[in-house]
Amino acid sequence: MELGIRGKVALVAAASKGLGKATALALAEEGCAVAVAARGAADLERAAEEIRQATGATVLAVSADVSRAADCKALISRVRAELGPVEILVNNAGGPPPGTFTDVSDEDWLAAFQLNLMSAVRLTRLVLPEMRARRWGRIINITSLAVKQPIPKSGDKAILLKKGSSARIRPGQKELETVPYDHAEYHELWPLTNGVDELSEKVEFVPPAAPQPFELFRSDEKLFLMPERQNLILEKPLPVDINKPGRCERYTPQHRPLVAAGKKVNSYLLFFNQEGPKNWKNYRKLTGQITFSKPILGVIGHYQKLKDTDAIVGIEGFDYPVFMQREKDRGLDNRNAGADEQMAHDVITISPDRKTLSFEISSGPWIDQFRVIVQAN
């Protein structure tokens, strides 16, 4: 699975075994540099080495008791010094000793709050300023099934979260607000967390996940924007068709602009997949725009370059379709020299600051596609 987090720095608490260790392994498999923390140094280092051997990732083991404020502060400082600022934080901790309500002492309650609640509060407070400054961050809080279903002799975690609710902070706000889980809320957030600041109404974002068949995304009125590789460092120059601001409606395969090797990039595929009857004369004119958070480095519209770059910046193992096996129908349509202005062709315009891409697409019955390469953080 390609989650677009390759190269990010992740910290997982209580990661010497169980769910924490599994989470750290999954993040390492996605290409993160992972810091793992737990109280038992021997078990923690053993888990870290297993993850290194399994993934080849950088794994930093830091022995820490997250129920202690000083340990939390030292943990974040160590990760920052050796890996960089924490970009993904997974708050996780073991449960308190079991007991009935009347059996649990004041000391037990306070210890449970320090371990399960205050550890998350402190670690979040320590990483949040840098996440805000970078305009990117993920904080995942793992707690017990007791949140949704009471468990005998385990009462503390149920008050930490309320079933069906979460918290958020909007830009400019200082206070957290509680909101219900709502698919629409997350649907609106996906583009922002994947480097897309704004979409016009004619563009629909495909949430990053395991690759879905193109046939699930069909519309006569919209283009779909699908994130592909994220934070990829190019090992060699990448051929594109358009790499300068301005309007482009004609290019040739012989025109060979390049995105330089060593650049860190995100790639996105835009595609039109007609929903109605496949009529060769049924052209539709779609116009709209996309604003990215970073500059556009290039646009790939020629079918051969699309094919050649699938394995470099495309989703690994994904089968990119063509219409009736006609590869030439996959990319953008050039305006032929001397052709009438009314003839069907595609126009791409890149804004002077290179962040906004505008399109005028004449789409037929096939799956039109073009790829946008954007500078990564």
Percent of the chain past pLDDT 70, that is, above it, reads 73
Q: Final residue of a domain: which of 133, 152, 181?
A: 181
Cα gap 140→157, rounded to integer Å: 16
Strand order in the sheet with 9-12: 59-63, 33-38, 9-12, 88-91, 138-141
Task: Identify whether residues 77 and 139 lie together within a single domain.
Answer: yes
pLDDT for 27 equals 95
Residue 157 is assigned to a structural domain of this protein: yes
Helices (H), 220-288: none
Residue 4 is assigned to a structural domain of this protein: no
State phi, psi for 61 to the nearest 5 degrees.
Answer: -100, 125
Cα gap 157→160, rounded to integer Å: 5
pLDDT for 371 equals 95
Task: Identify whether residues 148 and 291 lie together within a single domain.
Answer: no
Q: Final residue of a domain: which of 154, 181, 208?
A: 181
Task: Identify whether residues 275 and 147 lie together within a single domain.
Answer: no
pLDDT for 373 equals 97
E strand or H helix at 143, and its extent? Answer: none
Please check the confidence at residue 279 and state whether its pLDDT lies above 60. Answer: no
- pLDDT class for 309, splitting at 50, 70, 90? very high
Residue 296 is assigned to a structural domain of this protein: yes
Task: Identify whether residues 128 and 217 lie together within a single domain.
Answer: no
pLDDT for 345 equals 75
Averaging pLDDT over each range in 177-191, 218-232, 243-257, 276-290, which range is the top one?
Answer: 218-232
Domain interval for residue 298: 196-375
Dump the DSSP string for 330-376: SSPPPPPTT--TTS---EEEE-TTS-EEEEEEEE-SSEEEEEEEEE-
Residue range 98-140, pLDDT digits in tens:
666 667 788 877 887 788 888 889 999 999 999 988 888 899 8
Domains in the chain: how many in total?
2
Residue 188 is assigned to a structural domain of this protein: no
Q: What is the DSSP letter of 5?
A: -
Residue 189 is assigned to a structural domain of this protein: no
Task: Identify whether residues 213 and 139 lie together within a single domain.
Answer: no
Residue 187 is assigned to a structural domain of this protein: no
Return the beta strands (E) in 9-129 as ranges.
9-12, 33-38, 59-63, 88-91
Q: Final residue of a domain: which of 147, 181, 215?
A: 181
Number of other CB atoms surrounding residue 20 within 10 Å? 23
pLDDT for 145 equals 47
Assign 282 to helix, strand or coil. coil
Q: Are 62 and 38 in contact (CB under 8 A)?
A: no
Task: Identify whether residues 175 and 201 lie together within a single domain.
Answer: no
Task: Identify whether residues 114 and 227 lie together within a single domain.
Answer: no
Residue range 338-358, pLDDT digits in tens:
444 454 578 899 999 999 999
Cα gap 198→289, rounded to integer Å: 8
Calculate the dihedral angle through the C-alpha atoms of 320, 324, 328, 334, rounding to the nearest 10 degrees: -100
Up-side HSE of residue 143: CA atoms within 13 Å toward CB?
25
Please check the confidence at residue 235 and state whether its pLDDT lies above 70. Answer: yes
Residue 247 is assigned to a structural domain of this protein: yes
Task: Identify whether residues 118 and 176 lie together within a single domain.
Answer: yes
Q: What's the chain's average pLDDT? A: 80
E strand or H helix at 279, and its extent? Answer: none
Task: Identify whether residues 222 and 367 lie together within a single domain.
Answer: yes
Q: Are 270 and 299 in contact (CB under 8 A)?
A: no
CATH number of the domain residue 57 falls in: 3.40.50.720
Task: Identify whether residues 242 and 358 lie together within a single domain.
Answer: yes
Residue range 23-65, pLDDT digits in tens:
999 999 999 999 999 999 999 999 999 999 999 999 999 999 9
Residue 365 is assigned to a structural domain of this protein: yes
Q: Could you tell me the pTM of the whole model? A: 0.54
- pLDDT class for 211, splitting at 50, 70, 90? low
Please check the confidence at residue 190 and state whether its pLDDT lies above 80. Answer: no
Averaging pLDDT over each range in 167-171, 268-272, 293-297, 367-371, which range is the top one?
Answer: 293-297
Task: Identify whether residues 149 and 209 lie together within a single domain.
Answer: no
Task: Identify whether residues 89 and 163 lie together within a single domain.
Answer: yes
pLDDT for 364 equals 64
